[in-house]
């Protein structure tokens, strides 16, 4: 009998013939081989927080949450091996106890680390890369049934793919992460009108380790948030968002319980304000009652094959919509604007781009597919929406 499944927002649903809960790497390898040998599609799921239909399948959906925990840490290299199904929140304390931490993380920490890496999840900070850029190695259960480790020197093409893999090459069982020394942060926030905030926004982006703002289009008001390293002692209980002092993994993540869907595009950092102005114009003239926030963040340049920050310092602009509303008209119109700024979509959020268009935006998109096809020639790890992205 088919199981029922839905993603975090409830907007995506599926009826997989099997919902499989992994607890061991051996099971992952055997399951991948079973799917391949029986001609079934298999999709590895983390915490199902993606808005793009990366996961739905009528065949096998795998919950990787049982592959959880810190395997090892190395104080000299500041690296750790973690199980890929670990929720990010579950990594904070054990890594901290080993004197280590993620250099940055996203707005929430409910995702699995495997899922966050799988889509290039990021936080904010002009000098800070996304989570995929911290991946220095990976262990993957392939469709062949092999469990292989890859890094910069061993199977380097597979490693490049693993850094941002869309769950399309295998079940990632472990990730080797480059970390930093654990650090404390103090966070402050303030309200301002969009015009007042934009007057100083470049300065804020440059001055603060982490800076972002949410702009509410119908009121013109913004909430800005700055977070910086501190030597101050943590203050418990942890304060509300925007007024906190504590360890990195305590301060950066927030609680988001508003069921929404989202489009996010990355544009070259020096185009961020012009792009925001263009989005502002479209919302004011065509969607004047759209009350949901627009989020503005920055991500450092990297050299990952399909990172939205590859080859360029980046500003990300997110458009949100209540899950009960139809987002398509607004998102498509915003996407037209993002396209004029060479915008690259977030892999885990809504976009309507074709494989050909993605090949123009991501120079290594074709290479990514070549390597993927080499390790999974029968397409065991591809559902229909993923297959449709082939260039
Ligand atoms: C409330 C909310 C807040 C968010 N905040 C941010 C943010 O601040 N910054 C940001 O960049 N994004 C953000 N996102 C997007 C989110 O981080 C990504 O969609 C992320 O991929 C979700 O992680 P997950 O564990 O839920 O992955 P899933 O959605 O379960 O999976 C994502 C992809 O990873 C693959 N995958 C997962 N685990 C494995 C594995 N073990 N092996 C192989 N493939 C795997 C899946 O197949 C899929 O392709 C947010 C989303 C929500 C709903």
CATH code, domain with 173: 3.30.465.10
Q: Residue holding tokens 């009652």?
A: 289
Alpha helices in 86-227 (DSSP H): 88-97, 113-119, 156-163, 194-207
Residue 1 has pLDDT above 80, yes or no: no
pTM of the model: 0.98
Residue 188 phi/psi, 5-degree rounding, is -130, 160
pLDDT in tens, 298-326: 999 999 999 999 999 999 999 999 999 99
Residue 340: count other Cβ atoms within 10 Å of its Cβ: 12
Q: Residue 199 Cα, ligand 1 centroid: separation in angstroms? A: 34
Task: Please name which of 322, 327, 319 lies closest in space to residue 296, comparing C-alpha atoms.
Answer: 319
Q: Is 99 in contact with 179 (CB distance < 8 Å)?
A: no
Q: Residue 153 Cα, ligand 1 centroid: separation in angstroms? A: 27
Average pLDDT over residues 68-94: 98
Q: Residues 338, 205: one domain?
A: yes
Q: Residues 167, 242: one domain?
A: no
Residue ending a domain, choose from 128, 155, 181: 181
Residue ending a domain, choose from 157, 181, 205: 181
Q: Residues 126, 150: one domain?
A: yes
- Give the chain's domain count: 2
- Boundaries of domain holding 301: 184-345
Q: Residues 200, 333: one domain?
A: yes
Q: Residues 190, 318: one domain?
A: yes
Q: Residues 167, 196: one domain?
A: no
Q: What is the pLDDT of residue 3?
A: 78
Q: How far apart are the first and last CA of the chain?
A: 35
Residue 212 has pLDDT above 70, yes or no: yes
- Going by CA atoms, what residue is nearest to atom 28 of ligand 1? 48
**138 located within any domain:** yes
Q: Residues 197, 235: one domain?
A: yes
Report the CATH number at residue 283. 3.40.462.10
Q: Residues 168, 211: one domain?
A: no
Residue 359 has pLDDT above 90, yes or no: yes
Residues 6+ apart with CB under 8 A from 240: none
Q: Residue holding tokens 């910086």?
A: 228
Average pLDDT over residues 97-104: 98
- H or E segment at 272? helix 272-286
Q: What is the pLDDT of residue 2?
A: 72
Q: Residue 9 Cα, ligand 1 centroid: separation in angstroms? A: 12
Q: Is 111 in contact with 50 (CB distance < 8 Å)?
A: no
Residue 173 phi/psi, 5-degree rounding, is -100, -35
Bridge partners, residue 163, by sequence: none
């Amino acid at each position: 009998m088919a199981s029922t499944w839905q993603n975090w927002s409830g907007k995506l649903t599926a009826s997989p013939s099997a919902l499989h809960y992994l607890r061991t790497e051996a099971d992952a390898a055997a399951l991948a081989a079973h799917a391949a040998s029986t001609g079934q599609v298999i999709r590895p799921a983390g915490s199902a927080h993606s808005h793009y239909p990366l996961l739905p399948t009528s065949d096998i959906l795998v919950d990787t949450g049982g592959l959880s925990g810190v395997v090892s840490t190395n104080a000299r290299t500041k690296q750790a091996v973690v199980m890929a199904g670990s929720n990010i929140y579950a990594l904070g304390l054990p890594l901290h106890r080993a004197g280590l931490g993620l250099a940055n993380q996203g707005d929430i920490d409910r995702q699995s680390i495997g899922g966050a890496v799988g889509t290039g999840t990021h936080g904010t900070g002009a000098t800070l890369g996304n989570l995929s850029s911290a991946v220095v190695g990976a262990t993957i259960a392939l469709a062949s049934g092999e469990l292989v480790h890859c890094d910069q020197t061993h199977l380097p093409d597979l490693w490049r793919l693993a850094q941002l893999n869309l769950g399309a090459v295998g079940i990632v069982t472990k990730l080797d992460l480059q970390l930093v020394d654990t650090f404390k942060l103090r966070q402050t926030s303030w309200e301002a009108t969009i015009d007042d905030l934009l007057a100083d926004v470049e300065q804020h982006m440059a001055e603060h380790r982490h800076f972002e703002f949410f702009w509410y289009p119908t009121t013109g008001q913004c909430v800005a948030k700055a977070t910086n390293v501190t030597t101050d002692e943590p203050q418990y209980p942890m304060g509300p968002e925007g007024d906190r002092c504590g360890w990195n993994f305590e301060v950066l993540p927030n609680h988001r319980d508003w069921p929404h869907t989202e489009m996010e595009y990355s544009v070259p950092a020096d185009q961020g304000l012009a792009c925001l102005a263009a989005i502002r114009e479209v919302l004011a003239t065509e969607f004047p009652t759209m009350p949901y926030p627009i989020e503005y963040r920055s991500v450092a340049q990297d050299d990952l094959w399909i990172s939205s920050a590859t080859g360029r310092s980046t500003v990300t602009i997110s458009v949100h919509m209540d899950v009960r509303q139809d987002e398509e008209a607004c998102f498509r119109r915003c996407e037209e604007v993002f396209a004029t700024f060479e915008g690259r979509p977030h892999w885990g959020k809504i976009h309507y781009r074709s494989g050909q268009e993605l090949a123009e935006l991501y120079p290594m998109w074709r290479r990514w597919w070549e390597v993927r096809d080499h390790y999974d020639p029968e397409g065991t790890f591809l559902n229909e929406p993923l297959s449709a992205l082939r260039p």
